[in-house]
């Protein structure tokens, strides 16, 4: 199976990247072929509402995201690791999400056949405050984004109260949780992906609901 991990923070080696790396360290490479992408290192545009995708459901912008979306269409897991910025997520991730509009057009306007992989979506998210609702926007957006490719959100690890660069290292329990998640993902067979999301979330130790 293939797993695409997208890191959304502009801060290199910050908390969300440390968390993501811990998750990736739990993966068992022969079982899963994983790839990590740091959005902040790529050159790309947000959706410019040009309508170019309305012709055949393909985004006409050609930049670093073009290749990323070809990976999105073949991945079994789409993992997003991100901090919370102003109750939502960094602009890099917003732009990445916006360009799924071409998939939305393909599915809902042009009624093209669905892509075959139907990836399972997992969030690794953290923020500085203890706010009950800080992950609400992220979860809602991610569900809609996944829907455009017939993917499915199966939960996340949501961590509050982490702010300074590297502060997550003071919480080995969170890093261990992410690593165990990686290990458990590798225990899944392709046929398991057809199981209901609650069952998958329970097996993987994920929270579907980000409210504590």
Ligand X SMILES: Cc1cc2nc3c(=O)[nH]c(=O)nc-3n(C[C@H](O)[C@H](O)[C@H](O)COP(=O)(O)O)c2cc1C
- Residues in contact with ligand X by the rule CB under 6 A: 9, 11, 14-17, 83-87, 126-129, 131, 134, 162-163, 165
Distance CA 185, CA 19 (A): 16
16 vs 76, beta carbon nearer ligand X: 16
Helix (H) / strand (E) containing 11:
none
Helix, strand, coil shares, percent, the chain, to 5? 40, 15, 40
Task: Select 11 or 195, whichever has its Cβ closest to ligand X.
Answer: 11
Nearer to ligand X, 128 or 186 (CB): 128
In sequence order, which residues have a C-beta less than 8 Å from that of residue 158 and are 6 or more positions away? 123, 125, 126, 135, 207, 210, 212
Residue 18 φ/ψ, nearest 5 degrees? -65, -40
The nearest distance, CB 82 to ligand X, in angstroms, is 7
**Shortest Cβ 188–ligand X spacing (Å):** 27
What is the nearest approach in angstroms of ligand X to the Cβ of residue 39? 12
SS3 168: helix
* Closer residue to ligand X, CB minimum distance, 28 or 129: 129
Nearest approach, Cβ of residue 159 and ligand X (Å): 9
User: 46 with 186: CB under 8 angstroms?
Assistant: no
Q: Output the smallest distance, CB 183 to ligand X, in A.
A: 22
Q: What does each C-alpha distance from 120 to 96, 134, 149, 164 come to in angstroms?
A: 17, 22, 10, 30
14 vs 151, which CB is nearer to ligand X? 14
Q: Token pair 């980000």 is at which residue?
A: 210
**Three-class SS state of 150:** coil
Tokens of 146: 């996944």
Closer of 87 and 203 to ligand X (Cβ) = 87
Shortest distance in whole angstroms from residue 198 CB to ligand X: 27
Report the residue closest to ligand X, judged by CB.
14
């Amino acid at each position: 199976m293939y797993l695409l991990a997208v890191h959304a923070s502009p801060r290199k080696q910050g908390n969300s990247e440390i968390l993501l790396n811990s998750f990736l360290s739990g993966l068992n490479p022969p079982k899963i072929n994983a790839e990590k992408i740091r959005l902040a290192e790529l050159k790309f545009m947000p959706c410019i509402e040009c309508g170019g995708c309305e012709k055949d459901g393909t985004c006409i912008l050609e930049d670093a995201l073009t290749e990323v979306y070809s990976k999105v269409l073949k991945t079994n897991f789409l993992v997003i690791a991100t901090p919370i910025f102003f109750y939502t997520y960094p602009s890099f991730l917003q732009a990445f999400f916006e360009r799924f509009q071409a998939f939305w057009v393909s599915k809902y306007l042009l009624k093209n056949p669905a892509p075959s992989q139907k990836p399972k979506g997992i969030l690794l998210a953290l923020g500085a405050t203890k706010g009950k609702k800080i992950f609400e926007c992220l979860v809602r957006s991610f569900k809609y984004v996944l829907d455009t490719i017939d993917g499915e959100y199966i939960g996340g690890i949501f961590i509050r109260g982490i702010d300074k660069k590297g502060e997550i290292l003071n919480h080995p329990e969170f890093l261990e949780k992410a690593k165990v998640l990686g290990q458990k993902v590798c225990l899944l067979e392709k046929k398991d992906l057809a199981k209901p999301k609650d069952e998958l979330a329970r097996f993987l130790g994920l929270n579907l609901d980000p409210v504590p």
